[in-house]
Structures are given as structure tokens and as C-alpha cells.
Amino acid sequence: MRRGYSSSIAVLVWLVLVCSCFEPTRLQAQRAARTDPIEAAALNAILGRWGKQAKRSPAWNISGEPCSGAAVDGTGLDGNNDFNPGITCVCSFINNTVCHITMLKVYALNVVGQIPSELQNLTYLTYLNLDLNYLTGPIPSFIGQFSAMQHLSLGFNPFSGPLPKELGNLTNLNLLGISLDNFSSGLPEELGNLSKLEQLYIDSSGFSGPFPSTFSKLKKLRILRASDNDFTGKIPDYFGSLTDLEDMTDNHVIKLIRTTSGYIELAFLYSNGFGMKVKLVKITDVLNTMTRIVGDIVNGSSSLASIGNLTSLSTLILRNCKVSDNLGAVNISNLANLILLDLSFNNITGQVPRSILTLDKLEFLDFSYNQLTGSFPSWATESDLHLNLVANNFVLDSINDRTKLPSARHSLLPWFSTMYIFHSSSTLADCGSNRYMTGSDNTMYDVDPTDLGASSYYVTGETRWGVSNVGKFNQAPNGSNIIYSSNQQFQNVADSELFQTARMSASSLRYYGLGLENGNYTVVLQFAEIVYPDTQTWHSLGRRVFDIYVQGSLREKNFNIRKMAGGKSFTAVRKSYTAVVSKNFLEIHLFWAGKGTCCIPKQGHYGPMISALSVTPNFTPTVRNGVPKKKSKAGAIAGIVIGASVLGLAALFGISMLTKRRRRLARQQQELYDLIGQPDVFSYAELKLATDNFSPRNILGQGGYGPVYKGTLTDGRAIAVKQLAQSSHQGERQFVAEVATMSAVQHRNLVKLHGCCIDSNTHLLVYEYLENGSLDRALFGDSSLKLDWSARFEIILGIARGLTYLHEESSTRIVHRDIKASNVLLDTDLTPKVSDFGLAKLYDENKSHLILTFLIDHCSSGYLAPEYAMRGQLTEKADVFAFGVVALEAVSGRSNTDNSLEERNIYLLEWAWGLYEEKQPLRILDPMLEEFDTEEALRVIHVALICTQGSPHQRPLMSRVVAMLTGKAEVAEEVRKPSYVVTEWQQLRGENSSCTTSSYSGSTTLGFSRQREVDPLTQSPTITGASDEIEGR
């Protein structure tokens, strides 16, 4: 028994000894597992500089041990707002005795300052999230020392300076977020070293230049957000090999598929304002699983091919993508899941199919600003769609079509501007306000309270003005917040109340002056930014950027309210313009072209915004009900009355004479308005002032029809004025009719005819002015333009589309007669526009031999088809021949005749055919081209040679030419040299003559056939209607 007792005591003593030995070891381990002291000090310093600390809670207390509680228990940082600022630690170092900080989050706390140098002491970081703060200065280069970093998010901060190239050292990085910062350089080549990168967010960050070639190594990239930057060049072909790119939330991705031609089949990119050149050639069924496609790509050309195969699409936006295709090519009935379809601001042709009505889920449809034709779809009045069909070429079946639309459901239609006769002389509105506002100058502003939907309009009860809204905030689909209120006091303005409301739009906001008396007006637009606060918070980082048009003329490009206000919100900005009202109608258009931020301070905050507007006459109106009342000045009125009495008798005779003249001019103007097209009528005095009395220094070119002058109207618009020679004069009514018909012919690739002047014996035509002059100057002259291959291809394609419209699509069929490089003008975006079409109809047919002789003698013979040059036989195939010559000039960089070369190379056609027969067609290309698309170049050369066949029956229609250039139609592999010999008809011009290039349009002549097969300007008997004015975008 004692022995058993002794044994028990021995066991108990042993247990006590063991426990006493174990407890100190456990306690020692607990005390030893502490945060690296260098990192603890660094963390305290970082948060101290930023004025932040951990929330006082049992979870984590920075005053105690950092790596404890929530920092080590797996709580996690993402999505946990109670753990912010927050860290995560790993305590497995040195036998579980040392903890290192691996994750740091300081998210959306509006921290003000810079990235402290102490951050570089947190060397074990794998995760760093500093989004949504107000951190300034450059990102330090030591950021590249975090070799273990996998997630680096520094977006929504006003960082500046260049992006450090040391970021390329973070080879374990799988997410890099630097959106909505303010960098000032290109993307470093070193970013291509991030071979594990899956997500890259660089939108709205100020980057410029091309995408680095090293991005081809980012094989794992899934998401790329790159909108609202100033990237240049073409999207590199290597994006086609990044096969992991996929559709993700909010569609901020690129989906690119390589093609055999080296172009991209689909560039799916949330890239509003994306400056790169993109070609959307084909959208294939590979993307059938996508539920959304969003694109806003400029400087390219695109197709609608295979969209009908994407049966899972719910949202399709290809807005302002230069899509050029026929709507009939799309099987829209397959898109059963489609909710929103936006194909606006493109070059889409064809008719709107009724099959759209079979799409039960479709809510929003926008086909505005295209080239759609045919009868206006009758189903538009039967549907509950948010519908926008403005600015197309529809034909009205009956006058009743103008009155069928239900009120405030659809957007304004093409004929809206023709519905009102003049009855007022002013338009004033306090935008978004529900109360009348009287300004400090006693000006009364109308209320503007109607909350417009995604595609709707409102007209005042007196029909004095209207407003329309187009666009839907895709990030905030249920929001209708287009009217904002503010109780702030505004700076820099006497009428603060005028700015406490504003109207905003997701895309396109228009105000219309209806029934205005014709004349010159002052248009005042007033703005103030009331969404982004003037605080050092990330909410203040928003940028609102849009364009301003008045009467179709671009007045402000990339207009930024806060920038104009010196970087301040709640500060009034006043813009004043002069505008001419000639049809009792005025339009103010605020257009979002895709630039600026989209999601600050929350989703769906972007697009144009305006606080107030006024349109007042610069003349004494004859109507009273629209003029704002001012304080009366009895003395001034009495003086005027007395002066008028004294001078009245002396003026009677002059008034009598002037009245007769004005009646005659009014009758001519009314005749013009009664005709299709309704071009503007300018006075001779107005154009004389615009051209500085037709000064020789303003001459842009000289041709067979007379000189062309550059001018500037009083409203600031630049114009080109063609002064027709005396021999061109017709009867005034016939002249008016021809000009009206010509002005109705409108296409993206045709120079727009604004109007004419028929004062006295002078006939003047007023055209839009194209800043980059003529194609021949760009190719052969002293122009500073450098046309790369992409630009030349788009120019050739644009010329072909313009001619296709003239020959086959316009209700007025036109044979141009004088297609040549000097008759192709280039706008600021290098979009080609064919000029001088239809002018032959302004001349008598019995003078056709003189015009043809002029063509032969003045630099046009190299463009003349053989049958026209030798026999005067004219069809549209003569234009096809000339197009082929221009295409060869564009790709070769040389004119059709160059007497400085050796004899066998003088004539472009002979030289090109020689190289083609020698199996060396690519030698035709301009040696100045540093790079080009081989397949595309061969296609252009083959098409050009087909167009210059000797027989007109062997030349294709221009629509076929477009199809061949875009790859939609096959091009014959072998083309035979025509039987004609160039030298047989070049003698018509003379061996020693030479041509010079002009700065605008060197020759403005158009030939006239002696044996006419096709009337060059004939009105189709079965088509009537009005063509809409297409404004720049």
C-alpha cells in the first residue's frame, strides 16, 4: 500500500516538473512571436504621417502589438470595412517567433499626403491597397523593391510625374491598379516583364504614346482597362495572341482575336476617348458567351459582320466606332437577349428592319447619326422602345409622318427643325430649374424641370424652345438623375441661384431655339461644376469632358468646366458665341465623346452638363414676345423718336428703293426654302467681310469654275467660298434649284455645301472648310502631314465610299467627272471628303466642250478614262477609272505624271503596270512608308489596277470596290494590263505641260459629256424627302 502511495507521489512530482519546464517554453514562444520591430516602427510612422490609426478595438490595436488579433486570425482585408486601416501578418518566420507584415490596406479614407519613405521598410508586402485617397507626388522608385508583391492598387489618387520603370521588377505581380491618377508620360517598357500579370487598370491616368511592344509578353493578362488616355498609333497586333483576355464585370476589357491579315477581329474595349487606331473587322461566335460588349473606338474602320451570331448579348454599344456596313447584313432577330443596342455615330447604311420588334427584351435602340435610308419605319410609332433615329437619310411617305410620334417618348426626329415658323427672337432657360428666374439684368429665364429619360425630349408650351436627351448611364441603369441641385453659393457670378440646378446627359444633350426670327444671335452658355467638391478627397478627382457645338459648328473640343474655372467647382463659367439663324431654328449640342472619368463620386457621373443658356438677337426684332425685357430709358427713346422724325422724309426714297430689292431677295430666299435641302442663304456683304473683300491672300485654289477663298464668318465658322465665273450664271431659280439639290447630298466622305449667295449678279457657293487641305498637297506638296499606311488606306476607302454614295445610294445620282487628288480634302482627323461634285449642272450643256478642254489642259488628263478623253463618253465608270489613279497616287506617293523622271517612268499607270507584270507590285509603294500591311497593300494595288481597265464594262461599280477593299468581296488574283496605251491619249494634254499642287483644291473643274449616257445630277422620280444635316463628332 505504501509502495503504491510512493509511486503516486513520484508520478505527481514528475508531472509538476514537466509542466514547470513546459510553461516557460510556451510563454517564451508566445512572447517571441512579435512583429519585426523595424516594420512596427515603419507602420506607426506611415499611419502617423497620414493622421490615421487602427480603430480602438480588441481586434487590432496599433498602440500594442501590430501582428495580433485580426491581423493574424484570418479575418481578411478585402471587403471588411471594420478593418481599415488594416494589416495582415505571417508569423511563421524564425521558428514562429517573428511576424512580418504582408498586407496593408488604407482604403477610401481620404488620406492626404505622399507615400512615406518608411513604406520601403515593409519588405515582405505581397498586397498593398491605397485606393481612393488623396496621395500626391510621384510614385517612389523604391516601389520596385517589393519583390514578393502580388497585388498593387494605387488608383483614384492624384499621383503625378512619370510612372517609375522599377515597377517592372515586380515579377510576381498579378494585379496592378493605377486608374484615375495624373501621370504625365508613356507606359514604361519594363511593364512587359510582369509575366504573371492578370489584371491591369490604367484608365483615366494621363498616359500617352504607343503601347509598349513588350506588352506582348503579358500572356496571362485577362483584364485591361485603358479608357480615357491619349494613346497613339494602332493597337498592336500582338494583342491578338493574348488569348486569356476575357469579359469581366462592367466590361472594362479588351477581347482581341488575331486574323490572317494581321488586324484584330474584335477590339472589345471600354475605351471611351481611346486614341488608338483600331479595326473591327469581324465579331465571331467565339464571343457568344459575352453578355455585354462596349466600345467607343476612334481612328479606325469597323464592320458589323457576325454580330448576329452573338445570341447571348444583352448590351451592344459600338458607338462612334466608324462602323461602315449595311444594317441588312446583321440578322438582328437572333439577338433575343438584347436589352440595349447603340450603333450611333457611325456610317451604317441600309434600312431599319422590322424584325427589331421581335426582340421582346429590347428597351433602348439608338441608330442616330448614320446613313440609314428608305421610308421612315412606321413601327417607330407603335413601339415602346426608347428610340433615337435622328440624323439619317429617311424619306417621309406622307406629311402625316411628322405628327405620329407620341409626346415625350422618342427623341427629336429629322424634321423637327422644319415644324415651326418664326414667332420669337430669344431663348432663355435655367437648366433643370422648376422655377422662373430673373437675372440681375432683369432677364427672365424659363423653367426647365422635365426629367428626361434615356431617349426623350421636351418642348415648351409656347414652342419657343425644346430640349432632348440621348444616352443611358450604363453603370447606373436605374438612375434618372439628370437634374442636380446644390445650395452652394457660386463664385464669379452675380446670379448665384441660376447655377443651383443643372441638366446632365449620358451622351448627347441638345437645346433648340424654335421659330426664331432669322438673323445673327448671341448664344451664352453658363456652366458650373456642382458634382465634384473642392476638397482634398478622391471625390474631387472627377473630370467632366465634352464637346460643344452651336448650329452644327464645333466651338469647344474637350471642354472641361473645372479646368475653365481654374480648377474650381461651384465657380461660374460663361461662354459666348455668335450664331446665324437662317431657317428659324437654332441648335446647341453638348456631346460626350468618351473622355473624362465615369465613376466619381459614384457610378454614372459623366457627360455634358449645363446650368443656364440664353439666345438673344443682335438686331432689332420684328416680333416682341420673345425679347427679354430691360429697364427702359425714356431719354434715349425720346431722342430716337426725334431723330427718326427729322430724317424720315429724307429716308423715304431710299426705303422705297430698298424695299423693292429686299422683296426680290426675299422671294428668292423663299424659293430656296421651298426646295429640298434648304441650304443657308448668305448675303454678299457677309461673305465679302468673311473673305476680307475676297483678298488674293485668302485664295485656296483656282479652277475652271473660278477661285476658292477661305473665309471666317462672324460666328467664328471657317468656310470655303467658291466664286463662280461669269460664264457659269444661269437663271436664278434654276441656280437655286440646283444648289438646293446639291446641298441635300450629304455623306461623311463628301464636302458639305452650306449654302450660296445670289445677291446681284454674283453667284457664290459656301462649303465647309477642311483644315488639312487637299490630298495632292499632303502627298506631293509642302504639307507637314505625314501619312502612314493606315491613314492612306482609310483615305482610299473613304473616297470609295463617297463615290458609292454619289453613284448608287443618294436619291440624287451624280457622276463626279473630275475625281483627282486635288478634289479630295482632308479634315482634322484625315477623313477624306470628295469636293466639287454636281457643279457641271450649273453650266449650259452647249459649253461642255470648253469644260472638257479645260480638264485636258489643266492637270486632269491623267485621271480621265480613255472613253471620256477621246470620245466624250461619260458614265459613272469614268469616276471609277479616276479613283483607280488616285488610289495608286496615294499608295505610291507620286503624281500620275512626273516629267522629272526618265521617260519610261513619267506616267504612273505605265510604271505601275510594268512593276505589276514584273511580279513586283509592292515596289509601287511609297518608300517613305516605314511599315504597312502587306495583304492590305496588295489588295489596294489590285483593286486600283482593276479600276483602270480600258473598257468601262470591265471596271467594277464603286460599291464593289468598297467590298473588295474591306475584304468582303474577292479580288482577282491576276489582273491583265488593258489594251489601251497611255501615250495615245496623253497627247491631248501635251508632253511638256506640268501640274502644280494647291493648298486646298487646286482645280475645281468638272467635265461635261458631249455624249451623255448618265445624267450626272438626276433626281430619282420615286424618292422624295429631306436629308439631315450631319454634324461633326
Between CA 391 and CA 980 the distance in angstroms is: 45
Mapping DSSP to helix (H, G, I), strand (E, B) and coil, where does residue 122 land? coil
Bridge partners (DSSP) of residue 25 are none
**789 Cβ partners below 8 Å, 6+ apart?**
929, 931, 932, 933, 936, 937
Nearest in space to 379 (alpha carbons), one of 371, 370, 362: 362
3-state per-residue secondary structure call for 201-216: ECCCCCCEECCCHHHH
- For residue 62, the 8-state DSSP code is T
- Of 890, 918, 885, give the one whose Cα is nearest residue 986: 885
Residue 818 annotated to the active site: yes
Q: What DSSP element (H or E) covers 891?
A: helix 876-892
Amino acid identity, residue 785? L
Calpha distance 906→892 (Å, rounded): 13
In the three-class reduction of DSSP (H, G, I as helix; E, B as strand; rest coil), residue 415 is classed as helix
992 to 342, 621, 803, 821, 980: CA distances (angstroms): 56, 61, 32, 21, 22
d(C-alpha 726, C-alpha 105), whole Å: 79
Name the catalytic one among 131, 547, 818, 1028: 818
Report the distance separating Cα 592 and Cα 878, nearest Å. 42
Q: At what angle do helices 789-804 and 958-965 cross, to 10 degrees?
A: 150
Which residue carries 433615337 as its cell?
Answer: 388
Cβ pair 178, 154 in contact under 8 A: yes
**CA 573/CA 988 separation, integer angstroms:** 62
* DSSP category for residue 805: I
User: What is the C-alpha radius of gyration for the chain, rounded to an integer number of angstroms?
Assistant: 35
Task: Tell me whether the omega of the peptide bond preceding residue 477 falls within 30 degrees of 0, making it cis.
Answer: no
CA dist., res. 345 & res. 298, Å (int): 11
Of 751, 684, 706, nearest in space to 843 by CA? 706
The edge-to-edge listing of strands for the beta sheet with 609-610 is 483-485, 501-504, 609-610
Type and span of the H or E element at 848: helix 848-857
Strands (DSSP E) found in 106-158: 112-113, 127-129, 134-135, 151-153
**Three-state SS at 589:** strand
The upper half-sphere exposure of residue 692, i.e. CA atoms within 13 Å in the direction of its Cβ, equals 9
Is 737 in contact with 675 (CB distance < 8 Å)?
yes
Task: Kindly state the helix (H) or strand (E) to which residue 651 belongs, with its residue range.
Answer: helix 634-673
Give the Cα separation of 624 and 426 in Å (integer). 10
Residues 6+ apart with CB under 8 A from 573: 526, 527, 528, 561, 564, 565
Among residues 189, 200, 263, 256, the alpha carbon closest in space to that of 226 is found at: 200
* CA neighbor of 510 nearest in space, from 547, 467, 559: 467
Distance CA 538, CA 714 (A): 43
End-to-end CA distance of the chain: 107
Cα angle for residues 196, 197, 203 (degrees, 5° grid): 175
Cell numbers placing 244: 486569356
Cα(174)–Cα(221) distance, integer angstroms: 9
Residues belonging to the active site: 818
